[in-house]
Chain A
Amino acid sequence: MDKVAILGGGPSAFYVASRLLSRVPADRNRNLAVHMFDRLWSPHGLVRYGVAPDHPEVKNCTHKFDELAKDARFRYFGNVQVGPASGRPIPHVVRLPFDEIPRSYTHLVLAPGCPIPTTHPALPLSSRVIPALDLVHWYTQHPTHPHAPPLDGARHVTIIGQGNVALDVARMLLTSPDVLATYDVPLSVLEGLRTSAVEHVSIVGRRGPLQAAFTTKEARELMTISDASMALLDPVLLVPSADTKLSRQQTRVLDLLRKGSTTKSGTTKKTWSLDFFRAPTGIQESESRLRLSLAHTTLDAGLRAVATGATSALETDLVVTALGQQLDPSTPFYDDATRRIPVNASGNVLHPSGRPFKNVYASGWAAMGARGVLASTMINAYNVADNLAASLLGSDSLSPNFEEIMEKDVDPAPPALVREELEKGNVMSYEDWKIIDAEEVRKGAEMGKERERMGWEGAKAFLAASKTRA
């Protein structure tokens, strides 16, 4: 039989599984099993633990994943960490040695994503210098449970980085908790936001408006928050040099920035600013405040940020670094040079010799880098799944010069450890997840909101109780 292990349970993993199962007819002679392992107990990765609560539409993609999970050939094993992991640990996770996978499966797809926040060399992390991912994990109640950010003492927040995560965090800090209350924001988080002292959010980038990584949609959302206004930008920043050829997105972003926020500067208590051409060079922490040193920058011919020599200091209370995310270096096949899982155009993982591993693939951010929107993740996953399906159906054209690690003859069951832990209720199946999902939505509805999230212990207890009742 063909037995595929997918490591990771985010959108890339689900799009691979979905495409694979649709490409391989269920009635073909050889059996196919697709087993997905996620270190998080609940499925859908960044859709649950990354997408901002006020973007519920983006989460509609999970309906497709729910459909896929009805395919009897598919199984989900949540709360299982395959191989080692660095970063903040999940205490209740079931650990499966990586060696079990090549021994028990004929094919492997690695889709672990990029769970490690990129830090800034001049900004050592502390209780008041935190990665944006900690904030995101706080408002999504991620199983790694970071501390709640110290918002009650933070009148001025500085976000380093100008990508969509930076803007998500800014929006969460600036939007009225009453507006957020109807979304999937946990009650404890709403409480934290209600006691927040935040009055200004500075969003700092080392390059200019044309290089900023945020998308038009996210910028527009920040512009239209009802009770926060953008500090006026220096108009010089918004006039591109005559020889600059603007992309469609750049033209539209510039238009948006020229118009400014819908509530005008000076009319609201809460404000925010886009601080272009500033690069942090150091931070001094005192009892009361933080003093962030900034180098002023300009662009060189290659559009890199270079220091002009001018500097300034910014008094702030909380620094949030939103500088992107990286693959966990303890991931199997991790390549130091690229900090990714090296792959060829078909998604086959490459051996350091350059030869592909037979039947081993990688998809999503782990292979491609932490960038792009859901559509790009989907297209990449479909490419990988199409190549995997071709290999299953015997029509692939991989050269015989490959490395081989996967077993050829396996039995259909998941590894023994996973079976045992599943029986003890320490591993989450997709069916169990759907019970929790329904309960979260039911609880939310009682409170007039999209859902109220459960943590692992609550979910486990609820499942145990519902099985006793049944």
Chain B
Amino acid sequence: MCCRLRLKTFPPAARHGGIKRPAPGTGIKVHFKDSKGNHVKTIEGNEGDDLLSLAHEHDIDLEGACERSVACSTCHVIISPEHYDLLPEPEDDENDMLDMAFGLSDTSRLGCQVYLTKELDGMTATLPAATRNMFVDGHKPTHH
């Protein structure tokens, strides 16, 4: 239930669809990269916007199956290390979801839980590798 409460405590502007684009050149810049490290798009957001809502606003291929309720790992992104260190520590529920994320790295976060602040200007968010053979690669024989 903590997830629901957390949703309510954040500004409604950050809810999906409620994003207001800043005037060009005035916002906080975020660079999105694909899993191969290729630049996808640089976007600008406002303080308090979350990365998942920004990605949707700018048509970047980031899913949000549970709609920001921290119940899935589909909005997993990898943050540039120098910016990752500026973020508040993830809560238990976010860490629980990251446990199940594919292509997890030391600077992984759920996009829906990364809220922009001015000091994050210039941050990079890389979409994780989702290889087509993930089931095969990840498969370990089980003996239940």
Q: A interface vs B, CB < 8 Å?
A: 55, 57-58, 60-61, 63-64, 161, 205-207, 213, 215-217, 220, 248-249, 252, 303-305, 323-324, 345-346, 368-369, 371-376, 378-380, 382-383
Contact = CB atoms under 8 A, between A and B. Distances in A.
A380 B102 contact: no
B40 interface: no
A97 B76 CA distance: 42
Given A368-B135, A380-B135, A383-B132, A161 B144 contact: yes
A115 B92 CA distance: 32
B69 A213 contact: no
B66 A61 contact: yes
A58 B73 CA distance: 11
Given A55-B71, A217-B93, A375-B65, 18 more contacts: A57-B4, A60-B67, A60-B69, A60-B71, A61-B66, A216-B96, A217-B97, A252-B96, A345-B133, A345-B136, A346-B132, A371-B135, A373-B100, A374-B66, A375-B73, A375-B76, A375-B101, A376-B102
A58 B100 CA distance: 14
Contacts of A216: 95-96, 99
B71 to A, nearest CB: 4
Given A248-B99, A305-B143, A323-B144, A373 B67 contact: no
A202 B136 CA distance: 33
Contacts of B51: none
Contact of A213 (B4, B73, B142): B142
Interface in B106-131: 130
B70 A375 contact: no
A380 B74 CA distance: 13
A57 B100 contact: no
- 5 A-B pairs with least C-beta separation: A57-B69, A57-B71, A217-B96, A249-B99, A60-B67
B70 A57 contact: yes
B134 A379 contact: yes
B87 interface: no
Contact of B135 (A57, A205, A372, A373): A372
Contact of A375 (B74, B135, B143): B74
A450 to B, nearest CB: 12
27 contacts: A57-B71, A58-B71, A60-B71, A64-B65, A205-B144, A213-B142, A215-B99, A215-B100, A216-B99, A217-B99, A248-B99, A248-B104, A249-B99, A252-B96, A303-B143, A305-B143, A345-B132, A345-B133, A368-B135, A371-B135, A374-B72, A375-B73, A375-B102, A378-B74, A379-B102, A379-B130, A383-B132
Most chain B CB within 10 A, of A205, A252, A324, is at A252
A57 B3 contact: yes
A60 B65 contact: yes
A305 B132 CA distance: 31
A57 B66 contact: yes
Contact of B65 (A61, A161, A205, A248): A61
A374 B93 CA distance: 16
B63 interface: yes
Contacts of A63: 67
Contacts of A252: 95-96, 99
A435 B29 CA distance: 44
Nearest to B1: A54
A371 B136 CA distance: 12
Nearest to A163: B144
